[in-house]
Amino acid sequence: MKVLLDISDNSKAPFFMELIRSLNYVKVIKEVKDDSKMEQLLQDWTEAFNDIKLHQEGKKALKSARNLLDEL
């Protein structure tokens, strides 16, 4: 399971991150500290998840991996 969190009190963030890292079943994949980067990241992820949902509902066709590689 993936979880995205926004810690509103920056003074509590170091404690929270230390706590999370101490759990052997949790892996911190990416930590974003710049708010502008975070907003862009959230927007990109939201768009990607919406595209996946539409594809699963048959409302949007996505490119195949082969087509993506061919574009490179």
The average confidence (pLDDT) of the chain is 87
- Measure the CA–CA gap between 51 and 4, rounded to whole angstroms: 19
Q: Is the pTM of this model over 0.85?
A: no
Task: Look at residue 10 in the predicted model and tell me its pLDDT.
Answer: 83
Using the predicted structure, report yes or no on whether residue 55 has a pLDDT greater than 90.
Answer: yes
Domain total of the chain = 1
Domain that holds residue 66: 32-72
Domain assignment present for residue 39? The answer is yes
Choose between 69 and 37: higher pLDDT.
69
Give the angle subtended at the CA of 51 by the CAs of 50 and 52, to the nearest 5°: 90
Domain assignment present for residue 61? The answer is yes
The tokens for 72 are 């490179």
Contact 26, 20 (CB under 8 A): yes
Domain assignment present for residue 24? The answer is no
Task: Look at residue 62 in the predicted model and tell me its pLDDT.
Answer: 87
